[in-house]
C-alpha cells in the first residue's frame, strides 16, 4: 500500500532548486543540466516510494545535500570514463577498445577545428573520405581495395545489399549467429534482400552441402560468418575459406567472409596461435572480408571491407553507403591506429588493446604485485592477496580463448564483496571489477596507465567510511 504521507514529504522542484547547495552546482554546469538531474532524482525517489522500497524521506535540507553530492560524484554527463578492472580487454559494455594517448590526441586535434575530410589538398577540390585509409588498409592486408563504414554489421549489410539482392546466399546453420542486442544474421540478410539458403547442420557442415545448394537452389554467394561469442566443440566440422573458394571458382560464385574480429599480425605475436588474420583470409580465396575496427584492431568503431577492387567499387556506389558512412573522429582514430600497426613493435607499445592481449601471466603478476603493494600502503585496513585469474579478450573476438592473468583480491572489514563492488562502481570515476569466490578482484591486465593512482584513494575513502562510527 502506498504511503501518501511519504509522497507529500518529497519537496517540489522549486524548493530544491532554491537550496544553497543546489545553487552552487550552477557554477559547475548549466541550469538545464542541474534541473534535469534534480528532476530525475525526485522522480526516482517518487517511484521508489510508490514501489514500497522507501520507508522514510529526509528533510528537504538533507535531501538536497544528498542530491548535490550525487551530482558532484556522477558529474553532469551520462557517458563518462570508467576504470576497467574486469580483465575483459574488449568489454562491449565498457566501450570495447580504448584508444592510446597519441591516438586520442590526434582525434582531439582533428575534432577541434576543420579538417580535409572530403577535400583533396593536392587537387584543391572535393575528395573522398575513403581516400584517407584505402592505401593504408591495402598495404596492411594485401587487399586490392578497401573501404570503411560505421560498423561491421553495416559492412556485411552493404556487401549483401549490393552484391546479393534477390540472389541465393548459402550459410552454414552453425554460423547463423545472433550478436549482442539480438541482431541476427538471418534478419540482416532478409533486410538486404538476399535469399538465405541454410546448409549443413548446427554441428556439421560439409563441402557437399554447399555444392548441393549451388546446383539445386540457385546459390551465387557463399557466406562464411565468424561464430562470435561461442565455440562448438566435440563432434563438429566446418568448411574453410579455402574449400569455399575452390567450390565457388568453377561457377564464378562469390565468397564473402564476415570475420568479425581479426588481427593484422599473426596470432603467435600475442600468444594466440592459429588466430585468423585479414591477409590470411584473402590469401585463402575470400573475395571480400569484413571486420570491426574496435575489436582486435584496437581502434574506434568501424566496419572495414577489403578485397577485390571491382566489388568494392560497386559497394561504394550503393546509395545506402552514405547512410552507413564513417564519421571523421572514428576515421581519424582508425588512420592513426593503422599507421601504428605498420610495425608489430609499435602496435604492441602504443595500441592498448594489443598491449593488453600480448601480456603473459608473468607480466600480469608483476603489475599485480605493484598494485598489491600500493594497496597495502594506501589502504592499511584492506585484506589484499595476489591471485591468478583467467582473463578474456571479450567483444566476441576470441571465443573460448582464456588469457592467463593475475590480479589482486581485496576485501574490507565490515563490507561484503557485493557492497564493496557497489561502492567502487558508484565512485566519481566508476571502478568496474569482478567478484570471484566471495571477494572483489581487480585484474592487472586491463588497468591502464594512471588507473592505480585513482583506485587507491577511492578504496581508502571507502575504508575510512566503514571505520567511522
Q: How many CB atoms lie within 10 A of CB 180?
A: 11
What is the model's pLDDT at position 58? 85
Do 277 and 205 lie in one domain? The reply is yes
Do 273 and 289 lie in one domain? The reply is yes
469 in a structural domain? no
Do 240 and 336 lie in one domain? The reply is yes
What is the model's pLDDT at position 182? 63
425 in a structural domain? yes
Nearest CA-CA partner of 273 in 285, 283, 265: 265
Do 196 and 270 lie in one domain? The reply is yes
Nearest CA-CA partner of 308 in 285, 292, 291, 324: 285
CA distance linking residue 400 with residue 99, whole number of Å: 25
Do 210 and 148 lie in one domain? The reply is yes
Taking each helix axis as running N to C, give the angle between helix 152-163 and helix 185-192, from 0 to 180 degrees, rounded to the nearest 10: 40
154 in a structural domain? yes
pTM for this predicted structure: 0.88
278 in a structural domain? yes
| Cell 571507502 -> residue | 462
Q: How many CB atoms lie within 10 A of CB 432?
A: 18
Cα–Cα distance list, 57 to 12, 42, 51, 368, 369 (Å): 13, 11, 14, 44, 45
Please return the burial class of 201, using the count of CB atoms within 10 Å of its CB with bins 0-12, 13-18 and 19+: middle
Picking from 291, 322, 350, the residue at the C-terminal end of a domain is: 350
Q: What is the mean pLDDT of each run of 10 residues along the chain (469 residues)?
A: 80 87 85 88 89 83 86 81 97 95 96 96 94 95 96 94 95 84 80 93 93 94 85 82 95 94 89 88 96 94 97 96 95 96 93 96 97 96 96 88 96 94 93 95 97 96 72
Do 452 and 400 lie in one domain? The reply is yes
CA distance linking residue 6 with residue 250, whole number of Å: 77
Q: What is the CATH number of the domain that holds 260?
A: 3.40.640.10
Do 230 and 327 lie in one domain? The reply is yes
Do 294 and 371 lie in one domain? The reply is no
Task: Give the start-end residues of each E strand in 66-194.
Answer: 83-84, 119-120, 125-126, 145-149, 168-172, 178-179, 183-184
The DSSP output letter for 396 is T
Q: How many CB atoms lie within 10 A of CB 66?
A: 13
Do 202 and 331 lie in one domain? The reply is yes
Which residues are CB-neighbours of 345 under 8 A, at least 6 positions away? none
142 in a structural domain? yes
Q: Where are the alpha helices (DSSP H) in 193-327?
A: 207-216, 241-248, 278-283, 309-316, 320-323
Cβ atoms of residues 10 and 57 within 8 Å? yes
> Count of domains in the chain?
3
CA distance linking residue 420 with residue 434, whole number of Å: 11
Do 396 and 255 lie in one domain? The reply is no
Do 109 and 145 lie in one domain? The reply is yes
Q: Coil, strand or helix: which one is 25?
A: helix
Q: What is the CATH number of the domain that holds 388?
A: 3.90.1150.180
Do 53 and 174 lie in one domain? The reply is no
Q: Which domain holds residue 211?
A: 101-350
Nearest CA-CA partner of 95 in 464, 432, 455, 320: 432
Amino acid at each position: 500500500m502506498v504511503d501518501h504521507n511519504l509522497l507529500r514529504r518529497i519537496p517540489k522542484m522549486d524548493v530544491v532548486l532554491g537550496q544553497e547547495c543546489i545553487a552552487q552546482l550552477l557554477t559547475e554546469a548549466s541550469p538545464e543540466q542541474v534541473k534535469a538531474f534534480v528532476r530525475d532524482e525526485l522522480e526516482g525517489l517518487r517511484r521508489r516510494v510508490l514501489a514500497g522500497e522507501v520507508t522514510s524521506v529526509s528533510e528537504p535540507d538533507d535531501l538536497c545535500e544528498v542530491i548535490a553530492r550525487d551530482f558532484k560524484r556522477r558529474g553532469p554527463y551520462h557517458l563518462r570514463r570508467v576504470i576497467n578492472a574486469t580483465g575483459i580487454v574488449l568489454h562491449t559494455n565498457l566501450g570495447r577498445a580504448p584508444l592510446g594517448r597519441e591516438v586520442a590526441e590526434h582525434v582531439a586535434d582533428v575534432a577541434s577545428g576543420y579538417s580535409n575530410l572530403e577535400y583533396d589538398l593536392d587537387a584543391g577540390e572535393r575528395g573522398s573520405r575513403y581516400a584517407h585509409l584505402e592505401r593504408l588498409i591495402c598495404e596492411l592486408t594485401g587487399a586490392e581495395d578497401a573501404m570503411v563504414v560505421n560498423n561491421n554489421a553495416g559492412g556485411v549489410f552493404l556487401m549483401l545489399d549490393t552484391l546479393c539482392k534477390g540472389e541465393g546466399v548459402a550459410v552454414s546453420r552453425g554460423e547463423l549467429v545472433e550478436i549482442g542486442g539480438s541482431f541476427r544474421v538471418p534478419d540482416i540478410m532478409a533486410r538486404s534482400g538476399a535469399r538465405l539458403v541454410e546448409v549443413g547442420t548446427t554441428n556439421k557442415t560439409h563441402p557437399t552441402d554447399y555444392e548441393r545448394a549451388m546446383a539445386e537452389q540457385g546459390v551465387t554467394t557463399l557466406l562464411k560468418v565468424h561464430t562470435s561469442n561461442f565455440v562448438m566443440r566435440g563432434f563438429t566440422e566446418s568448411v574453410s575459406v579455402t574449400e569455399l573458394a575452390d567450390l565457388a571458382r568453377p561457377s564464378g560464385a562469390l565468397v564473402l567472409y564476415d570475420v568479425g574480429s581479426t588481427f593484422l599480425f599473426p596470432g603467435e605475436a600475442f600468444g594466440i596461435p592459429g588466430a585468423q588474420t585479414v591477409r590470411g583470409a584473402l590469401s585463402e580465396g575470400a573475395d571480400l572480408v569484413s571486420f570491426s575496427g574496435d575489436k582486435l584492431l584496437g581502434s574506434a568503431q568501424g566496419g572495414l571491407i577489403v578485397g577485390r577492387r571491382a566489388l568494392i567499387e560497386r559497394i561504394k556506389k550503393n546509395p545506402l553507403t552514405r547512410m552507413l558512412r564513417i564519421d571523421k573522429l572514428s576515421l581519424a582514430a582508425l588512420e592513426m591506429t593503422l599507421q601504428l600497426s605498420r610495425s608489430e613493435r609499435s602496435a604492441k607499445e602504443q595500441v592498448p588493446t594489443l598491449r593488453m592481449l600480448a601480456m603473459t601471466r608473468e607480466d600480469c603478476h608483476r603489475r599485480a604485485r605493484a598494485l598489491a603493494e600500493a594497496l597495502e600502503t594506501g589502504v592499511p585496513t584492506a585484506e589484499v592477496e595476489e591471485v591468478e585469474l583467467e582473463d578474456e579478450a571479450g567483444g566476441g573476438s576470441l571465443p573460448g580463448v582464456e588469457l592467463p592473468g593475475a590480479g589482486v583480491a581485496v576485501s574490507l572489514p565490515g563490507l561484503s564483496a557485493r557492497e564493496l563492488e557497489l561502492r567502487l562502481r558508484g565512485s566519481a570515476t566508476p571502478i568496474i571489477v569482478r567478484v570471484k569466490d566471495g571477494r572483489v578482484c581487480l585484474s592487472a591486465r586491463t588497468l591502464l596507465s594512471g588507473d592505480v593512482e585513482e583506485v587507491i584513494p577511492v578504496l581508502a575513502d571507502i575504508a575510512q567510511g566503514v571505520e567511522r562510527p
